[in-house]
């Protein structure tokens, strides 16, 4: 019998990759994002405002819906698309609290009446690139602005989102240091920024809280891969789930 996983995980397809990297083609057939009408509705609105593909966006959608009560933080929002997905889930919970019989995600016990969603970005491109990073040098992805993101959020009626403009956590962390977070999406591309963000948010995650690294499985973001693997070594026994969409998901099981 042909080993489908070997056949569909090819090392190059015409591109020179280092050891450990290659094209990944899962052989599963179920595409739940195609039949999730609520997700598809928000995806159609934001797909031109994000570099995160539909697979990773749907994972964020599912994780946000399953997360415990707490604030939501995204670090590295670019033009706001993925942050809008997270904010829509938070808004669904607010609507469900106001009208428990309505469709949508039911709020968790202790969840506040107003969602707290924070989108952090320099809006001046990647920062803290260093020798652990093979591709990024700093300043990439600067083609955005707070005004662009706010316009998208207003268009989608997601007015409860707060933008944190500056380097996180150095500049803007103090503004939210007293929050307790249910989910943190870390999409910062480079080692040091990912490291600083994770260790800032980790003690502020509630039990059951989730940290999602966007860049774990991507060639050019080896610094983030190394960051996650070092975190795994420092946190033995903590669930860390790398997925075939390229993300790494870390779940805080204890307070």
The reported pLDDT for the residue numbered 104 is 53
**pTM of the predicted model as reported, rounded to 2 decimal places:** 0.91
- The DSSP code sequence of 31-83 is -GGGG-HHHHHHHHHHGGG-SS-HHHHHHHHHHHHHS-SSEEEEE--TTSHHH
The reported pLDDT for the residue numbered 103 is 52
User: Average pLDDT per run of 10 along the chain, which is 255 residues long?
Assistant: 50 74 90 97 98 97 96 98 97 72 58 81 98 96 98 96 98 98 98 98 98 97 97 96 96 88
Domain layout of the chain by residue ranges: 32-251
- The DSSP code sequence of 156-225 is TT-TTEEEEESSTTTTTGGGGTT--EEEEEE---SHHHHHHHHHHHGGGEEEEEEEEESSTT-TT-HHHH
The reported pLDDT for the residue numbered 95 is 72
The reported pLDDT for the residue numbered 101 is 59
Residue with tokens 């009560």: 69
Nearest Cα to Cα of residue 180 among 209, 159, 145, 149: 209
Report the DSSP pairing between strands 248-251 and 205-213: antiparallel
Inter-residue contact 183 to 210 (CB < 8 Å): yes
Distance CA 44, CA 138 (A): 31
The reported pLDDT for the residue numbered 4 is 45
Homologous superfamily of 32-251? Vaccinia Virus protein VP39 (3.40.50.150)
The reported pLDDT for the residue numbered 7 is 54
Helices 81-98 and 146-155, interaxial angle, to 10°? 40
Q: Tens digit of pLDDT for each residue in 65-76?
A: 999 999 999 999
């Amino acid at each position: 019998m042909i080993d489908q996983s070997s056949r569909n995980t090819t090392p190059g397809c015409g591109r020179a990759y280092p050891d450990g990297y290659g094209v990944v083609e899962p052989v599963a057939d179920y595409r739940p994002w195609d039949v999730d009408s609520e997700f598809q509705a928000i995806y159609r609105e934001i797909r031109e405002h994000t570099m995160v593909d539909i697979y990773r966006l749907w994972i964020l959608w599912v994780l946000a819906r399953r997360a415990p009560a707490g604030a939501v933080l995204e670090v590295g929002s670019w033009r706001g698309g993925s942050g809008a997905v997270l904010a829509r889930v938070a808004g669904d919970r607010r609507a469900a609290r106001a009208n428990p019989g309505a469709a949508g995600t039911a709020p968790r016990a202790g969840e506040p009446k107003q969602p707290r969603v924070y989108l952090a970005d320099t809006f001046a491109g990647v920062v803290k690139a260093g020798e652990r990073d093979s591709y990024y040098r700093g300043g990439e992805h600067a083609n955005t602005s707070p005004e662009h993101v706010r316009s998208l959020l207003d268009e989608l009626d997601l007015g409860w989102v707060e933008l944190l403009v500056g380097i996180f956590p150095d500049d803007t962390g103090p503004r939210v240091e007293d929050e307790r977070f249910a989910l943190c999406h870390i999409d910062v591309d480079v080692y040091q920024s990912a490291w600083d963000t994770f260790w800032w948010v980790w003690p502020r995650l509630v039990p059951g809280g989730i940290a999602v690294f966007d860049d774990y499985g991507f060639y050019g973001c080896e610094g983030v891969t190394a960051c996650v693997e070092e975190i795994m070594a420092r946190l033995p026994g903590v669930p860390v789930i790398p997925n075939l969409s390229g993300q790494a998901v870390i779940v805080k099981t204890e307070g």
